[in-house]
Chains A and B, each alone.
Chain A
Amino acid sequence: MADHRAFTLLRRRLLGVVPVFAIVVLGAFALLESAPGDAVDAYLAGIGGGDAAQVAALRAEWGLDQGPLPRFLAYLSALARLDLGWSSAFGRPVLDVVLARLPNTLLLMGMATLLALSLGSLLGIICGARPGSLHDRTISLAAIAIYAMPGFWLGLVLIVAFSVERRWLPSGGIETVASGLTGWDRAHDIGRHLVLPVLALGLVYMALYLRLMRDGMAELWAQDFVRAARARGMAGARLVLRHVARNALLPVVTMLGLQSASMLGGSVVIESVFAIPGLGRLASEAVARRDTPLLLGVMLLSAMVVMLVNLLVDLAYALLDPRVGSGTGG
């Protein structure tokens, strides 16, 4: 039953994704066209120049001497062959550069989401269990303050506190360079490097989920089914967790999908602060070195990641909440 429902939902969502991705590609092409210089200029800058005849030949070969429509079709067919263009800054195909950086960003985002979700909902439950109490007010106030902090500034403050004053944690990089570590030792090393960036990226979202959870729970206390459960004699942790917190968790899951794009954007700055070679830092390097194809490659890949995350969130939602049907009777 549940599998069938999830499958129908998946198919419908995949069909919905197609036009949206087409618009993203169109936008990427428009940006590429409006940037100064074209793919041949980028390629020549990478290999160190060439003569006019060679340039003209290259332009003809890549279809750049034609009108906008043939150029767009050429761009589409290149995309279909997973060819994202040539990165002048790295002298390599964009796809290679981008894919090499993706795992670090996914790791950072995944850990930050995990932190935000677990700590946010835990503190949210503590606050929402007794809205208006002293610890609710204290924690909520702290959450508002954290929510107002720019992630990159929080990162710098963390660096000052934990790797300048006391040398507890490394202040940058994803792992110790040329350490020769393998297996668990390497994982431990990467973990130590990730503590501060994950905090800097995740704490803001932690504050967001906390507020969402807390406000949701505060509203649920007045609902009939909670009162009914109370009337049946249910109280304490059982009531809080099974009836109130469980229902307040659904909007948090929705927000998780909505925030994935914003978190990818946030990782641009966090990765720059902590010198993590990821997708985000690649984006700012691409802008600084005027490498438009590379920037668009990052954009397209990010859009795909966001779509995938939203798809997963929808599926999780369908499995969590029995009311979400396929529309064909679940």
Chain B
Amino acid sequence: MTSKQDSSFSEEKEAKRLFPLDAAPPGARSEKFFGSFFQKRTSFLFRLLATGEGLAGLALLSALVAIALAAPFLAPGDPLAIKGDPLLRPWQNMAHPLGTDRLGRDVLSALIHGARTTLLVAVSAAAAALGIGITIGTIAGFLGGWVDEVLMRIAEAFQTVPAFLLTLALISVTGPRVPTIVLGIAIGAWMQPARITRAEILSLRERDFVAAARVIGMRPLEIAFREVLPNALTPVVSLAAVIVAAAVLIEAALSFLGFGDPNRVTWGSMIAEGRTVLRRAPFLSIIPGIGLVMTVLAVHLTGQGVAKALRTRRHMA
């Protein structure tokens, strides 16, 4: 036993003697350092892509984002302008590959421009919801006491009213424009991030680094937002995919009911428009819906892939 241990010891010494760290050529160490840095960054992406969901989701999502960004080049001109004969079927006339609607507007270019509105509204609404939720959750969790009690009761009240009705109420008071729609969706979605942030903050706020920050004289809210919050963000951010997906669906439902911004093409309004000729031209309603399904699917799969990749990192650590 002892002799085996001795031999391993000497092996280690031998290795150190043969490959001393100091003797490495000057460039090697920094290369190694940057290598590990990039590895950390890229290995997460690799793990994400290694999960089937992550790969499929990211591919779909980047395609959609590319289409949304390139909309003015892919489909120049106003998508609401009349371009040809009304109610052309898909593949009937190659100038309008996906056909035209009741008024003769091109379905493909409306579809491309609709991707813009959908992604814009959904991503900003989710960002706003996360912002509101994280702020309120941090304040509630860190201050505790009656502030926490009041804020959590308010969150509970918001969860009691159907979010879609809240959004509708806000839009009916302020009018259907993109900023109010974004705010309306966020108002119905901030509660879950707030709860999760609060729970994370509660588990962190008694740690030593918080006490240390108090000792050096930082103010409570400064500690909460600058010291505690960054450590509590991971579980909250993994909620982002769920919120974006929900926001896509809510925006679609709003514009389907006719409460979207009337000056923008959205997939929801295209479906509503097509519904009036559902019997004669069902493709007008079905095509934009496929766009919605693809978007939600992309966001959902990416979220699942991220969650899986985060889990494997935790297992490896």
Contact = CB atoms under 8 A, between A and B. Distances in A.
A298 interface: yes
Contact of A148 (B153, B164, B268, B300): B300
A90 B275 CA distance: 26
Interface of B: 153-154, 156-157, 159-166, 168-173, 245, 249, 252-253, 256-259, 268, 271, 275, 278-279, 282, 285-286, 289, 292-294, 296-297, 300-301
A284 B278 contact: no
B161 A145 contact: no
A265 B278 contact: no
6 contacts: A27-B157, A144-B301, A150-B249, A156-B278, A156-B285, A306-B162
Given A156-B289, A157-B286, A144 B161 contact: no
A261 interface: yes
A288 B286 CA distance: 25
A149 B279 contact: no
A20 B253 CA distance: 28
Nearest to B290: A153
A160 B157 contact: no
Given A160-B282, A268-B164, 15 more contacts: A23-B153, A23-B154, A23-B156, A148-B292, A148-B294, A149-B293, A150-B253, A152-B256, A153-B289, A157-B289, A160-B285, A261-B159, A268-B168, A299-B166, A302-B165
Given A20-B153, A23-B154, A156-B278, A149 B164 contact: no
B289 A268 contact: no
B160 A306 contact: yes
B159 A156 contact: no
B162 A20 contact: no
A295 B294 CA distance: 33
A262 B271 contact: no
A299 B161 CA distance: 6
Contacts of A151: 253
Nearest to A159: B278
Nearest to A310: B160
A306 B253 CA distance: 21
Interface residues of A, number: 47
A272 interface: yes
Nearest to B275: A156
Contacts of A272: 257
Q: Which 10 A-B pairs have the closest CB atoms?
A: A265-B164, A265-B162, A153-B289, A23-B157, A148-B296, A287-B172, A148-B297, A264-B162, A160-B282, A261-B162
A21 to B, nearest CB: 8
A150 B257 CA distance: 13
Nearest to B259: A287
Given A24-B157, A284-B257, A35 B289 contact: no
B293 A148 contact: yes
Interface in A22-45: 23-24, 27, 31, 34-35
Nearest to B285: A156
Interface centre among A144, A150, A272, A298 (most CB of B within 10 A): A150
B30 to A, nearest CB: 45
A266 B188 CA distance: 13
Interface centre among A23, A31, A272 (most CB of B within 10 A): A23
A100 interface: no
A290 B278 contact: no
Interface string A9-22: 00000000001110
Given A19-B153, A23-B154, A145-B293, A284 B168 contact: yes
Interface string A87-106: 00000000000000000000
A303 B256 contact: no
Interface in A153-175: 153, 156-157, 159-160, 164
Given A35-B172, A156-B275, A150 B162 contact: no
A164 B300 CA distance: 32
B296 A269 contact: no
A296 interface: yes
Nearest to B154: A23
Contact of A306 (B161, B275, B294): B161
Interface in A261-308: 261-262, 264-266, 268-269, 272, 283-284, 286-288, 290, 292, 295-296, 298-299, 302-303, 306-307
